[in-house]
Amino acid sequence: MIDVVRDTEGLMLAFAEIFEQDFDRARISRTAESASETTRKRLLDSVAPLTLSPGYHDYAHHLIQLESEHEAGLALDVKSLTSFEAAGLVCLSRARLAFKAKHPPCSACGALQPTRFAPECDACGAKFQRRK
């Protein structure tokens, strides 16, 4: 049996899957607003499924919740925070940075892009300049 709280590599993969799936669902919801219900359902069904054990995703969601509470201004009780949770929050930070590097924000509107090689913003249509 794998000890999920100690498997930082698996946890990084779980965060990546969660971020990608949320990004895809949000993008599909935006672009399919005018589509029929069956088309929207078919598009949402095309989102890549989670591949890891549910334990990884449950623990990843727990860590995301801890981070959200901290960012909302709630004080984390350091005495009740385990070393595994602290290490998991570091993994979460690293995974979020990797996701943002893969999906950089538009300089005009801030919307995340499907790829860092996109020629223009999906949300506002701003053209991106490429470095030579």
For residue 50, is it within any domain?
yes
Distance CA(95)–CA(60), nearest Å, equals 11
Judged by DSSP in three states, 94 sits in helix
For residue 15, is it within any domain?
yes
Comparing 121 with 34, the larger pLDDT belongs to 121
Per-residue pLDDT tens for 16-61?
999 999 999 888 887 777 778 888 788 878 888 899 999 999 999 9
Beta bridge partners of 105: 112
Residue closest to 117 by CA, chosen among 104, 107, 100, 98: 104
Residue range(s) defining the domain that contains residue 66: 4-102
Overall average pLDDT of the 3-15 stretch: 95
Share of the chain above pLDDT 90, in %: 58
pTM, to two decimals: 0.84
Task: Work out how many domains the chain is built from and give that number.
Answer: 1
Residue closest to 108 by CA, chosen among 131, 87, 125, 84: 125
As a whole number, the mean pLDDT across the chain is 90
